[in-house]
Amino acid sequence: GGLSAVKEKDLPRREELQKKLDKYLKGRSFFIFRADNRFRAGVCKFVNHRYFERVVLVMIICSSILLAVDNPHTEDGRSAAEKLIFEILDIFFTTVFTIEMILKMIAQGVFHPKTAYLRHTGWDVLDFCIVVSSYISFAADSLNISYLKTFRVLRALRPLRAIRRVQSMRLVVGALIRSLRSILNVLMVCLLIWMIFGIIGVVLFAGKFGSCNVDEAVLSVLRADAIKAIGGENVTVYYNAESQPYVIDQDNVTHTFSDKTLCNGTWMEADLSWKNADFTFDDLGQALMTLFVVASFEGWLTVMYQAVDATSIDMQPVRNAHTPAALFFIVFIIIGSFMFLNLFVSVIFINYHETKQRDSGFSNLNDNQIQYIEEIKLILRLKPKAVPPIPKTRFRRFFYRIVLHNAFTYFILIAIIINVLVMSMTFYDQPTDYGIVLEAMNVVFTILFDIEAVMKIIGLGPAVYFKDGWNIFDFVVSVGSTVELFLNFVDTSVLRVLRIQRMFRVFRATRVFRVTRGLSGFTELFRVVVVALPSMGSNASVLVLLLFCYAVLGVNLFGAVKIGEGGFDPYANFSDVLIAMMTLFRIITGEDWNQIMVNAMVQPPDCDPASNCGSILAPIYFISFVLVGQFVLMNLTLAAVVGKLIVVSIV
């Protein structure tokens, strides 16, 4: 009986495998192996076995770990043994992926038929390109061909191979790819609108965002009224009310630097130089990049005020010289960002959900039928609670009636609210007597909540009580608070070393969450989170994978860029994969991402061109990441929550 049950369980897998064999075993692979060739059939069964895919997934994860550890900019500091280990591991993983590719080519064919390796899916083409780029990188290292070493950065795409082997991630990415045509159509419309504003910006502001600057490294403040000395006591630089620099020499003669020629041609010994702004409208490419920064709302005020202060081409800016210039940016934000950028996000929402419904088999169903299926899924997932059975003994029935009475529920809710208010009254350096009163009230509430837990366990019974997730949470909080209360009477010198008391004090703060249990609105939101977690998890996993790939790519591109003045911030750089991922997560939140991009483009004289300068690819890297990470994936997570909120509100 057990053997037949196992066979019945394996039957769907066998049927699925047979479908794949019928699908792939067509034509001749490598012009040698026919469709009925036993060797080819065996290879096809092997590569389509679930354990084969799992082994390949493990290899992808291990190779990704190697990418995270292998920093190309620290190779010179490695020992010979470390270099050999990295080379062997790189060759090993490349060999494994090559064998996988060849086996799949034998099973499916290379170019013919339509199900062949290089024609069936884009994922196979991606695998092929990654393997080929690895061999080109090996050849570049062996022959010392510098321009071919750029293929090494394509190794950052290796983790993307995991997407096709994880179904939830494959559904998300597949839906995005199939929505690409509609997304590109809207993106082209947005780009057209931005180009119009970009051309207008070039006409209005080209060459006007420069200013005469003094090298801050040689400045020293002489007086509080901002008089600064350069190069000696007889040469001083002043800034007038419009922030324009001028110099008074030893003969009391005033020299102004109102334009680029005077700034660069006079008083060079005073380290005066004409410097262009980080974001300008000098050409259409610069204008589009500046408008993208403005549309992201990060640093847009700086750009607008530079336009307001602009006077003429290569002339020193004057504060509030042209205030109406602000209208250009206000109109662009309303049209280019609020309208068309949000339209771009909306199209992503709609097409993503429609494509995901088709992938889930809902393409032949109408909206009401899809809604009905979602409601059934919601009901099954939430598992409605049954009414606790009435105890048989009089003693337990007494507590049963109390803990299920509305008055008891409201009493506990009021106690929780008062306890939260008491906890919020604590502050630094509070009076001793005040602290004693608060601590005494905390003891009272701790005992009260312990009594509540005991009464519920007696009245409902341990089996029923611990079936409810909220009851488990309440019990853990009560136990933790009681332990923390007990630790107050233990030798504090020991606890201070172990920090145990502080750890248990966290349980006291978690009582805040108990307030939400009695609020019906929060209960509905909690149901939304429970239902949306699978979709949010899928989107989050794709986002983490994107962060990792961009981090590896960023380390290869910007890992050597200087850290310090003119370069990266010590807390936001690409020196290793972990810091790079933290930097990229910061960029997703929109925090100062434009300045990080500027730092990644640092050029001489602010860096050494032989070792620590930036890359001209920085705008492509950062803008593409902001577009995909912030505007697409983060908004898809929001769309998943909103979609489930609609379903829950209907149910």
Annotated binding site for Ca(2+): 298
**DSSP letter, residue 158:** G
**Binding-site annotation: residue ranges:** 298
- Which among 157, 135, 137 is positioned nearest to 145, based on CA atoms? 137
Q: Are 34 and 113 in contact (CB under 8 A)?
A: no
Q: What span, in angstroms and rounded, lies between the C-alpha atoms of 443 and 488?
A: 11
d(CA 551, CA 491): 47
Q: E strands along 266-396, which residues?
A: 272-276
Q: Alpha helix (H) ranges present in 424-519?
A: 432-460, 462-465, 469-487, 492-498, 500-509, 512-517
**Is residue 536 a contact partner of residue 637, using CB atoms and an 8 Å limit?**
yes
CA-wise closest residue to 293 among 194, 202, 186, 189: 194
Residues 156 and 552 sit within 8 Å (Cβ to Cβ): yes
Instruction: Provide the β-strand partners of residue 255.
Output: 247
CB atoms within 10 A of CB 482: 17
Q: Pick the closest to residue 535 from 378, 376, 650, 366 (CA basis).
A: 378
d(CA 140, CA 112): 32
Q: What are residue 362's phi and psi, to 5 degrees?
A: -100, 10
Give, in order, the Cα–Cα distances in Å from 559 to each of 222, 551, 586, 590, 613. Answer: 39, 10, 17, 21, 10
The residues, any chain, with a CB within 8 Å of residue 309's CB and separated by 6 or more, are: 243, 317, 318, 319, 320, 321, 322
Q: By CB neighbour count within 10 A (0-12 exposed, 13-18 middle, 19+ buried), where does 234 fall?
A: exposed
279 CB burial (10 A radius; 0-12, 13-18, 19+): buried
d(CA 97, CA 66): 15
- Residue 235 half-sphere exposure toward CB, CA atoms < 13 A: 14
Query: Measured between alpha carbons, how far is 535 from 617 in angstroms, rounded to an integer?
Result: 33
Paired with 273 in beta bridges are 213
Structure tokens at 33: 């192996």
The number of beta carbons lying within 10 Å of the beta carbon of residue 109 is 27
Cα–Cα distances (Å) from 633 to 217, 358, 443, in that order, read 43, 20, 47
Find all residues with CB under 8 Å of 278, minimum gap 6, and list them. 594, 595, 598
